[in-house]
């Protein structure tokens, strides 16, 4: 029964803590978010298995971690340069239908991953892509080429 109570306390504590630091969704994790999510279980592992009977230590450690996460988020919001250091910057990997292989190599992004993003955007060929941008969370946004209205329409013939 004590294990059930400890798990309930930990669950409620982490849920409230994550709500306080303002994380509405974790669909797009920044590196700082990932660190927080990976460290929380480490703090509670011994307390839940009762190897260390002090649940208080785990609560204090997690409180400090959530405070650091909130501080990091606040500082990156106020200082854009710090945000680019902590979170990274978007990188253009396709420009006007041409792969930017230097950027792709640097980000370790394969052409297949770009093709996958293109297909999800409903595009079949690379020349249909105006821009493809790799975001720090690992997602790729694809902006399609817009057909030039003037070149697509035939000029009317005069008699």
Integer Cα distance of 90 and 84 in angstroms: 9
Q: 29-50, pLDDT tens digit by residue?
A: 666 777 777 778 877 777 776 6
Residue 23 and residue 40 in contact, taking contact as beta carbons nearer than 8 Å? no
Residue 130 has pLDDT above 60, yes or no: yes
Tokens 């993003």 sit on residue: 117
Give the pLDDT score at 155. 46
Which letter, b or e, does each residue of 89-110 get, where b requires 16 or more Cβ atoms within 10 Å of its Cβ?
A: eebebbeeeebbeeebeeeebe
**Which of 89, 120, 125, 95 lies closest to 107 in space, CA to CA?**
89
Tokens 């902590």 sit on residue: 86
Residue 136 has pLDDT above 90, yes or no: no
DSSP states of 84-109: HHHH---EEEEETTEE-HHHHHHHT-
pTM of the model: 0.59
How does residue 17 score in pLDDT terms, banded at 50, 70 and 90? confident
Question: Which value, in Å, is the radius of gyration of the alpha carbons in the chain?
Answer: 24
Residue 20 has pLDDT above 70, yes or no: no
Q: 62-88, pLDDT tens digit by residue?
A: 888 888 888 888 888 899 898 888 778
Integer Cα distance of 31 and 18 in angstroms: 16
Q: What share of the chain is helix, strand, coil (3-state, %, to 5)?
A: 60, 10, 30
Integer Cα distance of 142 and 119 in angstroms: 10
């Amino acid at each position: 029964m004590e294990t059930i109570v400890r798990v309930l306390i930990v669950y409620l504590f982490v849920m409230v803590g994550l709500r306080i630091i303002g994380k509405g969704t974790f669909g797009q994790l920044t590196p700082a978010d990932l660190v927080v999510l990976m460290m929380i279980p480490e703090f509670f592992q011994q307390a839940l298995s009762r190897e260390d009977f002090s649940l208080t230590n785990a609560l204090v450690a997690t409180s400090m971690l959530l405070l650091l996460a909130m501080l990091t988020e606040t500082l990156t919001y106020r200082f854009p340069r710090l945000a680019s250091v902590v979170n990274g910057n978007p990188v253009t990997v396709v420009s006007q239908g041409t792969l930017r292989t230097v950027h792709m190599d640097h980000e370790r992004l394969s052409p297949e991953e770009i093709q996958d993003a293109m297909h999800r955007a409903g595009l079949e060929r690379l020349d249909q892509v105006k821009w493809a941008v790799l975001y720090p969370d690992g997602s790729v946004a694809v902006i399609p080429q817009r057909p030039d209205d003037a070149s697509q329409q035939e000029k009317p013939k005069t008699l």
